[in-house]
Chains A and B, each alone.
Chain A
């Protein structure tokens, strides 16, 4: 059973329709595996940035920061899950939050699977052969988007149009969440500095 669960994400990758169905109704998904996949994707992005071939690597080694990569992977992931869940609960979606998290994570797998070998490839090809590198990167992105689309459709039992609309609205929702988050931090900061200033004033009085 354990081995089956571990291999299941790869099955989803190539058989998305039946795969996501099994994930939802046959209890084949596993949150811990989903977490591991997201972590793997994060690592693969870091690896590509750190060890990508010189010709394809525009990174300034002085400015390398894995936290930026973390922000680029983990933040959109959670934003997507939250926004998607918030919307689909209102739009008769049948998926619950953990299912959304699993589906999104399982859809991310092609990125990890392709990016790591592609990084190795990037170290042995020249500029003229760069087409392959960019092609595989593109394949990873397209594959991921396709899986995400099928996953969203299956887990919420939506039609194609409804799925597309949901995806668009989820993106809008992500922007809203970002905006609210920034607003929250900004207000907290101002409140903090206000309280701190009053504290200082009182302290200086005596």
Chain B
């Protein structure tokens, strides 16, 4: 009997330690300065678990490079180095993936003399670590190699399609695999400027359409020339930012508050090919105040393309990050305006560092690092699985997502697709229904209907033959009886 006693005490002590460990673990996950939410298929705001939570804040001083001043762009290169366009200090700061200072680039050798940047507000780094800097106030795009040696300077272009007093103010820059340079410049309403590998201006791509409302158009029609000259011009909106995906397609955000398509994916001919198969077109918040502070639709200032077709757009108006999958399903929303860790004042740029998301704040002069929470990780993995075609794995992950959040409707679509592949058509219809996906439901239902018919066609046919035969027999009997009665 005595032998049991120490064992019990030991297990009790273990239990105590264990409970302490788990409780502290739970607390660390519960903390996020914003409330998680998402939009249902009906467009209603529904609470959701937080998918990303702030991990830490990296200021210039913390990174060991002196504080940032109005930094406007951040770029994570393929070898996971972080480039920051520190606009106010006219320099490019390079950090490693642990946010430690590597070097800064503030000057370069320009045919014998030292040249400097002036308010660079865009940075792009290619696969072989060539650096392209949108050197805004110097009216040029500077192309440096890995060692910081000047390769090429793209000066203000000359072309007959540009207006006469054109001032080249490059804001954002991106470079594709063919070394074509795409530039978003201030005050250009014709789209994204495209330069070839030699730095020659080849034209605009992806021009935004002119948008006007019918009332304005009507008034303009009946106005006199003098009145017309004083009216607001109908001009297309500017792009605010761009990013390239693996295939060289350009993801863009634009500054039009009323556009139906604030996020676009431009193919090489400049046509928008973004997939919009989700419940709603990717456009940030669906519900917002019509007037007052922080009112109106989301205004995107930057977009980052992650792997597996996911992309995140940064809303500068309400300080939120919206992440979508390849099909345009809204996966999760996080972020907020404020003063705490994980909230923003003027978010200016976003990029992925692996599965973490970095957000640069221009007013607070720091980078906020967001890490996945367990559910964020599950969602990301499930989306990746589906993108790779591994629907079975992704269904398993979606099932676990649903355990966290039964309102996560996209998960049901994922499960439905996997069940369909397995040939479980009846179950697949149920899940498609839960996922509120009519297109998919119709597809699955067609197969289910075929199954049912194939299984029961024999009995249906024999039953109907029996019924018809019964009716005929009954009628003949009736007729015969009538005959005998009359006879």
Residues of A within 8 A of B (CB): 54-55, 60, 124, 126-128
Provide the residues of chain B in CB contact with A55, threshold 8 Å.
Answer: 438, 441-442, 445
Residues of B within 8 A of A (CB): 42, 433, 438-439, 441-443, 445-446, 449
Q: Is the interface of B mostly helix, strand, loop or mixed?
A: helix
Task: Indicate if the CB atoms of B433 and A126 lie closer than 8 Å.
Answer: no
Provide the residues of chain A in CB contact with B446, threshold 8 Å.
Answer: 126
State how many angstroms separate the Cβ of B436 from the closest Cβ of chain A: 9
Can you give 19 contacting A-B residue pairs, CB < 8 Å?
A: A54-B433, A54-B438, A54-B441, A54-B445, A55-B438, A55-B441, A55-B442, A55-B445, A60-B42, A124-B449, A126-B442, A126-B443, A126-B445, A126-B446, A126-B449, A127-B438, A127-B439, A127-B442, A128-B442
A128 to B446 alpha-carbon distance, docked (Å): 10
Provide the residues of chain A in CB contact with B441, threshold 8 Å.
Answer: 54-55
Provide the residues of chain A in CB contact with B445, threshold 8 Å.
Answer: 54-55, 126
State how many angstroms separate the Cβ of B348 from the closest Cβ of chain A: 39
Q: Which of B42, B433, B438, B439 has the most CB of A within 10 A?
A: B438
A54 to B438 alpha-carbon distance, docked (Å): 8
A128 to B449 alpha-carbon distance, docked (Å): 14
A60 to B44 alpha-carbon distance, docked (Å): 11
- Chain A: which residue is nearest B449 at the CB level? A124
Provide the residues of chain B in CB contact with A60, threshold 8 Å.
Answer: 42
- Chain B: which residue is nearest A124 at the CB level? B449
- Chain B: which residue is nearest A130 at the CB level? B442
State how many angstroms separate the Cβ of A149 from the closest Cβ of chain B: 35
7 more CB-based (< 8 A) A-B contacts, given A55-B442, A126-B445, A126-B449: A54-B433, A54-B438, A55-B441, A60-B42, A126-B442, A126-B443, A127-B439
- Chain A: which residue is nearest B429 at the CB level? A54
Q: Which of A54, A60, A128 has the most CB of B within 10 A?
A: A54
A40 to B442 alpha-carbon distance, docked (Å): 30
Provide the residues of chain B in CB contact with A54, threshold 8 Å.
Answer: 433, 438, 441, 445
A34 to B110 alpha-carbon distance, docked (Å): 94
- What are the 7 closest A-B residue pairs judged by CB atoms, nearest first? A127-B442, A126-B442, A126-B446, A55-B438, A55-B442, A54-B433, A60-B42
Provide the residues of chain A in CB contact with B438, threshold 8 Å.
Answer: 54-55, 127
Provide the residues of chain A in CB contact with B433, threshold 8 Å.
Answer: 54
State how many angstroms separate the Cβ of A133 from the closest Cβ of chain B: 12
A55 to B443 alpha-carbon distance, docked (Å): 11
State how many angstroms separate the Cβ of B166 from the closest Cβ of chain A: 50
Provide the residues of chain A in CB contact with B42, threshold 8 Å.
Answer: 60
A127 to B445 alpha-carbon distance, docked (Å): 10
Provide the residues of chain B in CB contact with A127, threshold 8 Å.
Answer: 438-439, 442
Provide the residues of chain A in CB contact with B443, threshold 8 Å.
Answer: 126
State how many angstroms separate the Cβ of B439 from the closest Cβ of chain A: 7
State how many angstroms separate the Cβ of A200 from the closest Cβ of chain B: 35
A60 to B40 alpha-carbon distance, docked (Å): 12
Provide the residues of chain B in CB contact with A124, threshold 8 Å.
Answer: 449
- Chain A: which residue is nearest B439 at the CB level? A127
